[in-house]
Amino acid sequence: MKNVKKQLIEKRLNEFYLPLHEALNKSKRLWISYRKRYANTEVFSEIAQGKVTKNTLRWQRYMLSVFQPLHLELSKILQKRQLVLDNIKLLQQLDILEQHIAYYNVIFMQWKYKDATENFAPTHFPKYLIKYIDEDITRLSQEKEQLL
Protein backbone atom coordinates (compact mmCIF):
# COMPACT_ATOMS: atom_id res chain seq x y z
CA MET A 1 0.00 0.00 0.00
CA LYS A 2 2.83 2.38 0.90
CA ASN A 3 4.51 1.62 -2.40
CA VAL A 4 1.37 2.39 -4.41
CA LYS A 5 0.87 5.68 -2.58
CA LYS A 6 4.53 6.61 -3.07
CA GLN A 7 4.28 5.84 -6.80
CA LEU A 8 1.20 8.05 -7.11
CA ILE A 9 2.98 10.90 -5.34
CA GLU A 10 5.99 10.52 -7.65
CA LYS A 11 3.69 10.42 -10.70
CA ARG A 12 1.94 13.60 -9.57
CA LEU A 13 5.23 15.36 -8.95
CA ASN A 14 7.12 14.16 -12.02
CA GLU A 15 4.35 14.27 -14.60
CA PHE A 16 2.36 17.31 -13.51
CA TYR A 17 3.58 19.52 -10.68
CA LEU A 18 7.31 19.78 -11.40
CA PRO A 19 6.97 20.18 -15.20
CA LEU A 20 4.24 22.78 -14.68
CA HIS A 21 6.37 24.60 -12.09
CA GLU A 22 9.33 24.65 -14.47
CA ALA A 23 7.24 25.88 -17.44
CA LEU A 24 5.62 28.60 -15.32
CA ASN A 25 9.01 29.82 -14.10
CA LYS A 26 10.27 29.85 -17.68
CA SER A 27 7.22 31.85 -18.74
CA LYS A 28 7.76 34.33 -15.92
CA ARG A 29 11.45 34.82 -16.80
CA LEU A 30 10.63 35.38 -20.48
CA TRP A 31 7.84 37.83 -19.69
CA ILE A 32 10.00 39.81 -17.23
CA SER A 33 12.81 39.91 -19.77
CA TYR A 34 10.51 41.25 -22.49
CA ARG A 35 8.94 43.84 -20.18
CA LYS A 36 12.36 44.98 -18.97
CA ARG A 37 13.68 45.35 -22.50
CA TYR A 38 10.73 47.43 -23.71
CA ALA A 39 9.73 49.18 -20.47
CA ASN A 40 10.91 52.58 -21.69
CA THR A 41 9.19 52.38 -25.06
CA GLU A 42 5.62 52.99 -26.08
CA VAL A 43 5.16 49.39 -27.17
CA PHE A 44 2.41 48.44 -24.72
CA SER A 45 0.38 51.60 -25.23
CA GLU A 46 0.68 51.23 -29.02
CA ILE A 47 -0.36 47.60 -28.83
CA ALA A 48 -3.27 48.42 -26.51
CA GLN A 49 -4.46 51.09 -28.92
CA GLY A 50 -4.45 48.58 -31.79
CA LYS A 51 -1.88 50.52 -33.77
CA VAL A 52 0.09 48.45 -36.24
CA THR A 53 3.65 49.66 -35.76
CA LYS A 54 7.10 48.12 -35.69
CA ASN A 55 6.53 47.60 -31.97
CA THR A 56 3.26 45.77 -32.57
CA LEU A 57 4.83 43.54 -35.19
CA ARG A 58 7.81 42.86 -32.89
CA TRP A 59 5.35 41.96 -30.11
CA GLN A 60 3.51 39.56 -32.39
CA ARG A 61 6.71 37.88 -33.59
CA TYR A 62 7.89 37.54 -30.00
CA MET A 63 4.59 36.07 -28.85
CA LEU A 64 4.44 33.65 -31.79
CA SER A 65 8.04 32.50 -31.48
CA VAL A 66 8.34 32.42 -27.68
CA PHE A 67 4.95 32.17 -26.03
CA GLN A 68 3.04 30.10 -28.57
CA PRO A 69 5.45 27.14 -28.09
CA LEU A 70 5.34 27.68 -24.34
CA HIS A 71 1.54 27.65 -24.42
CA LEU A 72 1.70 24.35 -26.30
CA GLU A 73 4.02 22.96 -23.61
CA LEU A 74 1.68 24.14 -20.86
CA SER A 75 -1.33 22.64 -22.66
CA LYS A 76 0.39 19.25 -22.82
CA ILE A 77 1.07 19.38 -19.10
CA LEU A 78 -2.52 20.43 -18.39
CA GLN A 79 -3.73 17.28 -20.14
CA LYS A 80 -2.55 15.48 -16.99
CA ARG A 81 -4.72 17.64 -14.78
CA GLN A 82 -6.31 14.54 -13.25
CA LEU A 83 -3.11 14.25 -11.17
CA VAL A 84 -3.93 17.43 -9.23
CA LEU A 85 -4.60 17.09 -5.53
CA ASP A 86 -8.04 18.09 -4.31
CA ASN A 87 -7.26 21.81 -4.18
CA ILE A 88 -10.11 24.08 -5.29
CA LYS A 89 -7.95 27.21 -5.38
CA LEU A 90 -5.39 25.51 -7.62
CA LEU A 91 -8.12 24.16 -9.88
CA GLN A 92 -9.55 27.67 -10.27
CA GLN A 93 -6.12 29.00 -11.19
CA LEU A 94 -5.68 26.20 -13.73
CA ASP A 95 -9.04 27.14 -15.27
CA ILE A 96 -7.80 30.72 -15.66
CA LEU A 97 -4.56 29.48 -17.25
CA GLU A 98 -6.49 27.35 -19.73
CA GLN A 99 -8.71 30.33 -20.61
CA HIS A 100 -5.65 32.55 -21.03
CA ILE A 101 -3.99 30.05 -23.37
CA ALA A 102 -7.22 29.51 -25.33
CA TYR A 103 -7.66 33.25 -25.88
CA TYR A 104 -4.08 33.61 -27.09
CA ASN A 105 -4.53 30.66 -29.44
CA VAL A 106 -7.38 32.57 -31.10
CA ILE A 107 -5.28 35.74 -31.23
CA PHE A 108 -2.32 33.85 -32.71
CA MET A 109 -4.58 32.44 -35.41
CA GLN A 110 -5.90 35.93 -36.21
CA TRP A 111 -2.35 37.21 -36.58
CA LYS A 112 -1.52 34.46 -39.04
CA TYR A 113 -4.39 35.75 -41.18
CA LYS A 114 -3.08 39.34 -40.88
CA ASP A 115 -5.80 40.40 -38.44
CA ALA A 116 -4.04 42.53 -35.82
CA THR A 117 -7.18 43.88 -34.15
CA GLU A 118 -6.49 41.96 -30.94
CA ASN A 119 -3.12 41.72 -29.22
CA PHE A 120 -3.87 40.83 -25.61
CA ALA A 121 -5.99 38.10 -24.06
CA PRO A 122 -8.88 39.46 -22.00
CA THR A 123 -7.93 37.08 -19.17
CA HIS A 124 -4.72 37.78 -17.35
CA PHE A 125 -2.20 35.11 -16.50
CA PRO A 126 -3.32 33.50 -13.19
CA LYS A 127 -1.75 35.52 -10.43
CA TYR A 128 -1.59 32.87 -7.68
CA LEU A 129 -1.00 29.72 -9.71
CA ILE A 130 2.66 29.28 -8.78
CA LYS A 131 1.82 29.80 -5.10
CA TYR A 132 -0.68 26.92 -5.10
CA ILE A 133 1.66 24.74 -7.17
CA ASP A 134 4.42 25.34 -4.60
CA GLU A 135 2.07 24.51 -1.72
CA ASP A 136 1.05 21.21 -3.32
CA ILE A 137 4.66 20.31 -4.15
CA THR A 138 5.56 20.86 -0.49
CA ARG A 139 2.56 18.81 0.63
CA LEU A 140 3.41 15.94 -1.74
CA SER A 141 7.08 16.01 -0.76
CA GLN A 142 6.15 15.81 2.93
CA GLU A 143 3.76 12.89 2.29
CA LYS A 144 6.48 11.12 0.33
CA GLU A 145 8.98 11.70 3.14
CA GLN A 146 6.55 10.21 5.68
CA LEU A 147 6.28 7.06 3.58
CA LEU A 148 10.05 6.47 3.58
Q: What percent of the chain has pLDDT over 70?
A: 99
Report the range of poorest mean pLDDT among 24-33, 74-83, 119-128: 119-128
Residue 64: its pLDDT value, please?
93
User: Structural domain tally of the chain?
Assistant: 1
pLDDT higher at 118 or 86:
86
For residue 95, the model assigns a pLDDT of 97
> Binning pLDDT at 50, 70 and 90, where does residue 116 land?
confident
Q: What is the mean pLDDT of residues 11-24?
A: 97
Distance CA 63, CA 36 (A): 15
pLDDT at 59 over 90: no
- Angle of CA points 71, 77, 78, to nearest 5°: 85
φ, ψ (nearest 5 deg) of residue 125: -60, 140
Say which residues have a Cβ less than 8 Å from residue 76's Cβ, sequence separation at least 6: none
- Residue 112 CB neighbour total at 10 angstroms: 10
- What's the pTM value of the predicted model, to 2 decimals? 0.88
Count of alpha carbons within 13 angstroms of residue 54, beta-carbon side: 2
Predicted confidence (pLDDT) at residue 56 exceeds the cutoff of 90: no
Instruction: Classify the phi-psi angles of 140: left when phi > 0, otherwise alpha if psi is within -120 to 50, otherwise beta.
Output: alpha
Structure confidence at residue 21 (pLDDT): 97
Task: Give me the pLDDT at residue 25, please.
Answer: 95
Contact 74, 101 (CB under 8 A): yes
Task: Please give the Cα distance from 44 to 50 (Å, whole number).
Answer: 10
Which has the higher per-residue pLDDT, 83 or 115? 83
Residue 46 has pLDDT above 80, yes or no: no
What domain range is 40 assigned to? Answer: 2-147
